[in-house]
Chain A
Amino acid sequence: MAELGPLLEVVLGGLMSGVLYALVALGFVLIFKASGVFNFAQGAMVLFAALSLVRLAEWLPFPLAFLLTIVIMTAVAWAIERLVLRPLVGQHGLILFMATIGVTFFLDGFGQTIWGSNVYQLDLGIPASPWFLLESLFPGGILVSPIDVFAAAIAGALVLALSIFFHSTKIGRALRAVADDHQAAQSVGIPLNRIWLIVWSTAGIVALVAGMAWGSKLGVQFSLSLIALKALPVLILGGLTSIPGAIVGGLIVGAGEKLAEFYIGPSIGGGIEYWFAYVLALAVLLVRPQGLFGEKIIERV
């Protein structure tokens, strides 16, 4: 029993940071599914969203700042789609990817130029002191951070809303159609441009939610942008085209790296959680290149 307590704590903590990885990965999946663009700038969008929110909240009441940030993120997403990616429609995927790397650096720099480059505290009014659960069962209980719980709940709600949106609305059906075949989608009357705009705006809002969650955990600062790198193994695990895949991939990475740190870490000097996810992703790539949930790509020869 004494062993189980810390283990549960590690798994729980891992799962909850996994939800946050999933949140970032979700933005990638949305855009990749609908337009085939691997948007490396998703991390920069997370940073930009968090910076906008935290700086605006210094001047405005929080709800107003939040709404304004949604407007800003929609505009940013729209601008990226309209100014960078649409002129490149039909180009090779690698070229689009390179373009989004360019956008990443621009957005990182631009965001810090207009909003400042210090570390800002994002206070969502969540108690900072940890909760101790199940104290009767385990000595000292299980430590849980309220911020993590809050972030996980928000992420869960977002995923639920997105899946309802994708599965039972006309726009959702149109999105899935566009993801499958551009030409056919156009031929049934779906305007590609509008769909891409919707997808990018949604990705912008997902970035805002991810930025709030991460920002309240780590403080709003440049390193938020690097979260995109943590989303990569999640995407490889879950598959680039699957929303459930992004969630499950996030959870596996989150729990996996914490468990690895807990069990293997002490024997080799720690620091495992920084690279464990990538090794895991590499292993998955070798066995199942399309990821756990991705569509199998069969090329006819």
Chain B
Amino acid sequence: MLATVTPSPPAAPIAQRQRAIGEVLLAVENISLRFGGVRALSNVSFDIRKGEIRAIIGPNGAGKSSMLNVINGFYHPQEGRILWKGRARSRMRPHEAAKGGIARTFQNIALFKGMTTLDNIMTGRILKMRASFIEQALYLGRGRSEELRERAFVERIIDFLEIAHIRHTPVGKLPYGLQKRVELARALAMEPELLLLDEPMAGMNLEEKEDMCRFILDVNEEFGTTIALIEHDMSVVMDISDRVVVLDYGKLLADGTPEQVRNDPAVIAAYLGVAHG
């Protein structure tokens, strides 16, 4: 990981991107999370603004995934509060977060392995479907029109992410990189306001990483989706994110633009570290 801290080549400069960063969409305030005696997060505060790409970085065990799990309701912090669109929410559960407009992908791909690519992505539309199950079962009236409409929507996402050729393949049979892309597609199908990506490029080769980078930027630009992502590849983070949060041992170490964070002495110490000194 050390090697990736080196300054990245100037690819896709941020300045060129049309980006309207708006008001605060989500704010975490003084979040502390403990598992028994282990402190996963201590007093962490930051915000995510509408339309931005927000990176959360930090060494292994820094609490990045825990933070994501707090945001989408898998974990409930012992202290602190979360403001979603300006309103404090209490003990929101994951399916409620989904209903509220938060979608996510997982570090260890969590797809429905027995289903095809298409069916996986269709699950992302479950919240949008309103027809009664009788109508759906008999494929009549609203059931039929709804299935067709959602199917058409999903096809657009499939085209967008260039996975049309694997539409009917059971996802368990797909290579890793494509599985990651299907997972992104499923999250996008939810039309989220906030998209959480947990290491979207982990385990990918260079070409796959470049593809994924491009998709993330495209999603952000074309749909205006706010994105918060965890990533280990520092050059990727510096390239695509507007602002970066750095966590270390569950504490907030730094928060700012990639430029600010890169030059922050505390960050440099954490990464290049005393251990190597």
Contact = CB atoms under 8 A, between A and B. Distances in A.
Interface of A: 164-165, 168-174, 176-177, 179-181, 183-192, 295
B98 interface: yes
Interface string B166-208: 0000000000000000000011001000000000000000000
B74 A170 contact: no
28 contacts: A165-B133, A165-B137, A168-B137, A169-B136, A170-B136, A171-B133, A172-B133, A173-B126, A177-B115, A180-B111, A180-B112, A180-B113, A180-B115, A181-B112, A181-B113, A183-B106, A184-B112, A185-B123, A186-B93, A187-B72, A187-B94, A187-B98, A187-B187, A188-B126, A188-B127, A188-B187, A189-B126, A190-B123
B12 interface: no
Contacts of A188: 98, 103, 123-124, 126-127, 186-187, 190
Nearest to A295: B114
Contacts of A176: 112, 114-115, 119
A186 B98 contact: yes
Given A169-B136, A186-B74, 17 more contacts: A165-B137, A168-B136, A168-B137, A170-B126, A170-B136, A173-B123, A177-B115, A177-B123, A181-B111, A181-B112, A183-B106, A187-B94, A187-B110, A188-B126, A188-B186, A189-B99, A190-B126
Contacts of B124: 188
A212 B123 CA distance: 36
Contacts of A164: 137
Nearest to A173: B123
Interface in B89-147: 93-95, 98-99, 103-104, 106, 110-115, 119, 122-124, 126-127, 129, 131, 133, 136-137, 139
Most B CB atoms within 10 A — which of A171, A184, A187, A192? A187
Interface in B68-101: 72, 74, 93-95, 98-99
B95 A190 contact: yes
Nearest to B73: A186
A187 B137 contact: no
Contact of B110 (A168, A172, A181, A189): A181
Contacts of A181: 110-113
A295 B113 CA distance: 11
Given A173-B123, A192-B95, A187 B112 contact: no
A164 B123 CA distance: 17
Contacts of B114: 176, 179-180, 295
A169 B93 CA distance: 24
The 9 closest A-B pairs by CB, nearest first: A189-B98, A184-B110, A186-B94, A180-B112, A169-B136, A189-B127, A169-B133, A191-B95, A170-B129
B203 to A, nearest CB: 14
A190 B122 CA distance: 13
Nearest to A184: B110
A17 to B, nearest CB: 30
A170 B131 CA distance: 9
Given A168-B139, A170-B129, A174-B126, A189 B112 contact: no
A171 B129 CA distance: 10
Contact of B103 (A170, A180, A187): A187
A191 B113 CA distance: 19
Contacts of B93: 186, 191
Interface in B221-250: none
A189 B96 CA distance: 7
A29 to B, nearest CB: 14
B170 to A, nearest CB: 11
